Amino acid sequence: MRRTSLQIQHILRESSASVPERFVWFERLAPRGGIIRYGLVGCFNTLIFALLIAILTFLFGVERQDSSLWTLIWGISWFISGVLAHWIHRKFTFTPSTNLTYSVSTGTPVYVIALLGSSVTFGLLVEFTKLWVPLLGIVNVGLWGFFQWVLNRTLIFRHDRAIRWEREQE
């Protein structure tokens, strides 16, 4: 589907505000769409995720050997922090070339796959290793985070297309 110049301008205006002068250095260090910016935002999202896990494990009294309960708590926490992450990535991490309806409808299956995959992976790691649970969590978040960065950038927000559109508009 061909987009008109006005549609392109509207999508770009919605997604990228001008950068205040005092944050230009940050744009150079961690440009939109890059793995560094994604990682920084991911650290914030992971902190929320970890807090949710801590709260739920405390509330349910989870023991190290309760791999099924760990998997459930992981999944619940991943879901809640994933919803928040979509909005943060849309506004701060990427320059989307897609409207909100497209990014949510395309992102949902990706997030569901990551939710299920990361939950199963984490449950298996807890079940079949004796490693420290937080270490398993960090490794699992890192691997699934990279998977999601690739799909967020290319499929959900179509960041590269937005950058091409911006250059064409200049």
Cα of first residue to Cα of last residue in the chain, in angstroms, is 22
Residues 161, 167: Cα–Cα separation, whole Å = 10
- Per-residue CA distances from 152 to 51, 70, 94, 103, 121 (Å): 24, 27, 8, 9, 21
Total domain count, the chain: 1
Lookup: tokens for 118: 């990361």
| pLDDT for 80 | 92
Q: What is the pTM of this model?
A: 0.70
Q: Which residues contact 79 (CB under 8 A, 6 or more apart)?
A: 115
Q: Which structural domain range is residue 63 located in?
A: 5-169
| pLDDT for 8 | 46
pLDDT in tens, 29-75: 888 888 888 888 888 998 999 999 999 999 988 887 877 888 889 88
| pLDDT for 128 | 92
Helical segments of the chain, H only:
5-15, 24-29, 35-60, 67-88, 100-128, 133-151, 159-169
Lookup: tokens for 96: 């989307």
* Chain centre distance of CA 15: 16
pLDDT: is 114 or 2 the higher one?
114
pLDDT in tens, 49-58: 999 999 999 9
Whole-number average pLDDT of the chain? 83
